[in-house]
A = this chain, B = another copy of it.
């Protein structure tokens, strides 16, 4: 069997095209700054607040950009979380049917939210079934489009609009960025942002941030090839749990990223508390890792101008309360 041709990687033009498509549909999330935290850290720190995006995470951007190019038969996605909500919300706005494949043990609130965005839900058994196969089969049966979470040029380009906005907002704030830190799971958000920054702010170093146990991109960047995480690893950062870097995303990241940084659960909880106290926003654990890298010293931000992306805020009240408590006063 001949191997399929390598999928075409997105470029800056695709990110700018996505930005035009998202205009009036996505929230232009603010780039926040806290003089108090700046003083404490000895740096200038800017936070791109993507928890304020529609559906509570950046995922809406890529989903809308991708779903807006699909036919009338609708879309199918597999996701236990933010990608599913993004696809469902985008499909609803575009008047298309959506179906999300979710694990049977997904939290009730995520099921309810996905349903409220108008999606049909099909459950699968995490232990015995393969969600990608189920989603592909359903898409095939219905003539619907399967929307992958990150290995898709339109998804990457859509997420990259975070970087486009951020670069323009930093310029307006007279901030010349030394570094940008971005949470990294499959790598869609950071690869898109890296494309945008390479074009608009080429002197800015871009760093991936991952939680312990899911540092596949950090290790893969060092090795120069895609490495997997240990099977069965768990993390507080549910949104960042992937088996390996994406194929397309890693092809971009290997070329454009400086390196990968790793943070622990305690650092993440502390970052959630700082986002609460200094920026008045709600971050989910995976959405707090980039700030955590600055607070923990995994990234030395002193004397620099640094932007961090806070990628989402879909966290339940109990987890959030625990993070505030564990982080101390």
Chain A contacts to B: CB under 8 angstroms: 24, 27-30, 32-33, 35-36, 39, 49, 51-52, 54, 56, 89, 92, 113, 116-117, 172, 273, 276-277, 279-282, 313-314, 317, 320-321, 324-325, 327, 329
**What 7 A-B pairs are tightest by C-beta distance, nearest first?**
A280-B313, A51-B280, A280-B282, A317-B324, A36-B116, A321-B321, A56-B280
A89 with B321, Cβ < 8 A, contacts A49-B52, A52-B30, A282-B276 known: no
Asked whether A52 lies within 8 Å of B280 as measured between CB atoms, the reply is yes
Q: How far is the CB of A61 from chain B (nearest CB, A)?
A: 15
A315→B324 CA distance, assembly (Å): 12
A276 with B320, Cβ < 8 A, contacts A39-B116, A281-B52, A282-B282 known: yes
A24 with B282, Cβ < 8 A, contacts A35-B89, A317-B276, A321-B325 known: no
Chain B residues closer than 8 Å to A277, beta-carbon distance = 317
Chain B residues closer than 8 Å to A54, beta-carbon distance = 33
Chain B residues closer than 8 Å to A24, beta-carbon distance = 172
User: Apart from A39-B116, A52-B280, what 4 extra A-B contacts exist at CB < 8 Å?
Assistant: A30-B30, A36-B113, A273-B317, A280-B313
Q: How far is the CB of A51 from chain B (nearest CB, A)?
A: 4
- Closest residue of B by beta carbon distance from A112: B36
A-B contact pairs, 15 of them (CB 8 A): A27-B30, A35-B89, A36-B113, A39-B116, A52-B280, A52-B281, A276-B317, A276-B320, A280-B281, A280-B314, A317-B324, A317-B329, A320-B324, A321-B321, A321-B324
A29→B36 CA distance, assembly (Å): 19
Asked whether A35 lies within 8 Å of B116 as measured between CB atoms, the reply is yes
